[in-house]
Amino acid sequence: MSETPIIEAEGLTRSFGDVKALSGVDISAPAGSVLGLLGPNGAGKTTTVRILTTLLTPDGGSARVAGLDVVRDADELRTKIGLAGQYAAVDEYLTGRENLRMVGRLYHLPTSEARARADELLEQFSLTDAGDRVAGGYSGGMRRRLDLAAALVARPPVLFLDEPTTGLDPRSRLALWETIEERVADGTTVLLTTQYLDEADRLADRIAVIDHGRVIAEGTSDELKRRVGGERVEVTLTDPSQAAAAAEALAPISDGHASPDAASTDRDGVLRVPLRSDAGGVAAAVRRLDAASVGISDIAVHRPTLDDAFLTLTGRPAEEVIAENGELRQEADR
Amino acid sequence: MSLRWTIADTLVLAGRQLRRIPRQPDLLIGYTVQPIMFVLLFRYVFGGAISTPGYDNYAQFLMPGIIVQSIAFGGFVTALAVADDMSKGLIDRFRSLPMSRIAVLAGRSIADIALNALQLAVLIGVGLAVGFSFGTDVGRVVLGLVLLLALGYAFSWVFALIGLSAGSAETSNAIGFTVIFPLTFASGAFVPPATMPDGLREFAEANPFTTFVDAVRHLFIGGEAAPANSDVWMAFVWVVVITVIAAFLAVRKYRSVSAG
């Protein structure tokens, strides 16, 4: 692509005492796209966002956002970015409207424009009715919406969202996703961190998987899934002793590099066979098993999820990595 | 950042704090009821056992001391609020905005003047009710009030620095009550330092809190019991020195601080 990326980081490193939070992060995102930074707690997502939003200086490496260096041009860069962090950073003793007006004034909008913008955003984020109540009384979802609205006051071309839906109930989460998608449709570039695979899958054009302070894989959601392998058919046999016959029946539609011997039945009696993409899918599998008189109690096609991708890329399931990094994260925070 | 925007941002943040004050009744109670309790405790529980030669009654001796302590320690809520802003991510938000780097703390310290003025009014009212009376002219009383508000302003910065360094309300609490609070007692605020044992006496006499209290005594009461000495101008020097150092350190801390 000839287009210059609007977010670009090269070899970012940062340590907190003995803990190496980032050991060489490279990311890039073209204007108008959504880059998802996916990884467990403590992987370095938040540290990356803090460096890109000028809150933290890197020990090494460099980064430019909207053409501005995050260290040298920090003052000017702050006029071009919006940040919604993990904390829903709103003043609990101010009303929603007062919060937005204050942020508008601090972006140096004229008073009248700050007022108009606050009203407009309250409307857009369905907070008009709550606009004159103090934010301390808002629900978690309302606070996140207000926080996101505050990040958008100055219509920044680049928006950073650090785990925007962590701790939200499913309905608020879905609503926030829709709001983010509307911003993106308006041309805003978004860098989004998340530990939720479905969130990255839904919102991000490209995903950078980050673990132990470096990017371990990068690509579209589909590309990452493909690295895990294609579809596979999972057959539950009525008679487990027919496993060999079933494997033989499915061999012709199996993926080239998996011989029938490689088709495995787990202890649960489920036969898993990787499918060739042009083989006709589950219908072909059923016909072949029928023809071979193999009894089927259940059959399904499994498409790889980002969970599978994460497992393959890190060698561990997402949950396990999250649990393992929990302690490291707490240390890094000190 | 131009001076114009620095002033504009500071006023926006001062406005934020002033809006918050009437919405925090618990804070207002802490600001007013607690000093009143202290006045009553010292005046009527301990007062009878404390001899203050040269003063008409203990209330005369006590009020300047308790006013100085309350005004200085009143900045404590600043430490709690700044620590709270930090743990809630608000400091991160402000630092990500294209605003002046000193506005958050400067705005806060300006709004604190309003709280301190309120506290000062309450304390003087209570003082007059328990037997305190001014013994000087209007000019000196006003100068005393200015000194007290300037002292409160200086300690807003001290406590802002404590709040930023501590990062949590609990740690701020611990620092406030183990360092600042005892300092105010090891002074001439509540008893004459002459009655203290060696070592502590010298400490109390050198303690700037003693200078502040003696300056206020001279400006409010005067007479032979409270001579001017060098206390009044030294008190202003201390206030300026504390403000400059604490503000410098607090702003430097703000630039690099991060949320938990």
A180-208 pLDDT, tens per residue? 899 899 899 999 998 888 888 899 999 99
**A233, A250 Cβ separation under 8 angstroms:** yes
Gap from A234 CA to chain B (nearest CA, Å): 46
Chain B residues lying within 8 Å of A87, measured CB to CB: 88-89, 92, 259
pLDDT at B135 over 70: yes
Average pLDDT over residues A11-17: 93
Q: What is the DSSP letter of A317?
A: -
pLDDT at B185 over 50: yes
CA dihedral of B195, B199, B203, B205, whole degrees rounded to 10:
40
B93–A81 CB contact, under 8 Å: no
Match domain A5-90+138-226 to its CATH number in 3.40.50.150, 2.40.30.10, 3.40.640.10, 3.40.50.300: 3.40.50.300
Predicted pLDDT at A316: 61
B10: nearest Cα among B18, A321, A88: B18
Given the structure tokens 């993990």, which residue do they identify? A86
Contacts from B202-208 at CB under 8 Å and sequence distance 24+?
Answer: B207/B183, B208/B235, B208/B238, B208/B242
Contacts from B103-106 at CB under 8 Å and sequence distance 24+?
Answer: B103/A106, B103/B6, B103/B9, B103/B10, B103/B12, B103/B13, B104/B13, B104/B254, B105/B157, B105/B160, B105/B247, B105/B250, B105/B251, B105/B254, B106/B10, B106/B13, B106/B14, B106/B247
Q: Which of B19, B90, B260 lies closest to A333 in CB terms?
A: B260
SS in 3 state form for A1-24?
CCCCEEEEEEEEEEEECCEEEEEE
Please list, in sequence order, all residues whose beta carbon lies within 8 angstroms of the beta carbon of residue B194, skipping any fewer than 6 positions away: B201
Average pLDDT over residues A258-276: 63
Region of A101 (left: φ > 0; alpha: ψ -120 to 50; beta: rest) is alpha
Which value does ipTM take for this structure? 0.87
Average pLDDT, rounded, for chain A: 84
Read off the pLDDT band of B107 (50, 70, 90).
very high
Count of other CB atoms within 10 angstroms of residue A113: 14
- Look at A73-77, A302-306, B229-233 and tell me which has the smallest mean pLDDT: A302-306
Predicted pLDDT at A284: 86
CA distance A264 to A232: 12
Q: In this structure, which amino acid lies at residue B57?
A: N
Predicted pLDDT at A321: 52
Gap from B161 CA to chain A (nearest CA, Å): 18
- Look at A309-323, B145-159, B245-259 and tell me which has the smallest mean pLDDT: A309-323
Read off the pLDDT band of A242 (50, 70, 90).
confident
Taking the alpha carbons at both ends of chain A, their separation in whole angstroms is 41
Taking the alpha carbons at both ends of chain B, their separation in whole angstroms is 27
Chain A residues lying within 8 Å of B96, measured CB to CB: 53-55, 78, 81, 83
CA distance A117 to A124: 10
Torsion over CA: A62, A68, A73, A76 (sign): negative
| pLDDT above 70 as % of chain A | 88
pLDDT at B173 over 80: yes
Helix axes B103-129, B231-256, angle to 10 degrees: 140
Question: What is residue A156's three-state secondary structure?
Answer: coil
Residue of B nearest to A52 (CA): B96
Beta strands in B106-202 (DSSP E): none
Q: Which of residues 88-107 of A touch B (CB under 8 A)?
A: 88-94, 98, 102-103, 105-107
Beta bridge partners of A190: A34, A159
CA distance A49 to A56: 9
Predicted pLDDT at A234: 84
Predicted pLDDT at A265: 58
Strands across the sheet containing A296-302: A264-265, A270-274, A232-237, A296-302
pLDDT at A258 over 60: no
**Helix (H) / strand (E) containing A211:** strand A206-211
**CATH numeric code, A230-302:** 3.30.70
Count of other CB atoms within 10 angstroms of residue A139: 12
Predicted pLDDT at A264: 55
Average pLDDT, rounded, for chain B: 90
B5–A108 CB contact, under 8 Å: yes
Q: Compare A159 and B194 and report the one with higher pLDDT.
A: A159
pLDDT at A262 over 60: no
CA distance B172 to A233: 60
Beta bridge partners of A215: A210
Q: Name the residue range of residue B236's domain.
A: 3-256
Domain ranges of chain A: 5-90+138-226, 230-302
CA distance A37 to A207: 6
pLDDT at A144 over 50: yes
Q: Checking DSSP bridges between strand A34-38 and strand A189-194, what pairing results, if any?
A: parallel
Q: What is the DSSP letter of A107?
A: T
Torsion over CA: A39, A40, A42, A43 (sign): negative
pLDDT at B259 over 60: no
What are the structure tokens assigned to B255, written together?
């630039």
CA distances from B24 to A94, A297, A333, B21, B101 (A): 11, 65, 30, 6, 26
Query: pTM of the predicted model, to two decimals?
Result: 0.82
Chain B residues lying within 8 Å of A88, measured CB to CB: 89
Count of domains observed in chain B: 1
What are B's interface residues with A at a Cβ cutoff of 8 A?
A: 1, 5, 8-9, 12, 15-16, 19-20, 23-24, 88-90, 92-99, 103, 258-260
Average pLDDT over residues B94-106: 93
pLDDT at A62 over 90: yes
Q: Which residues of B73-91 are buried (b: 16+ CB within 10 A; e: fewer)?
A: bbbbbbbbbbbbbbebbbb
CA distance B58 to B189: 12
pLDDT at A328 over 50: no
Beta bridge partners of A9: A27, A63
Predicted pLDDT at A329: 41
Beta bridge partners of A287: none
Gap from A87 CA to chain B (nearest CA, Å): 6
Q: Any idea what the Cα angle at residue B205 is, between residues B204 and B210, rounded to 5°?
A: 80
B89–A88 CB contact, under 8 Å: yes
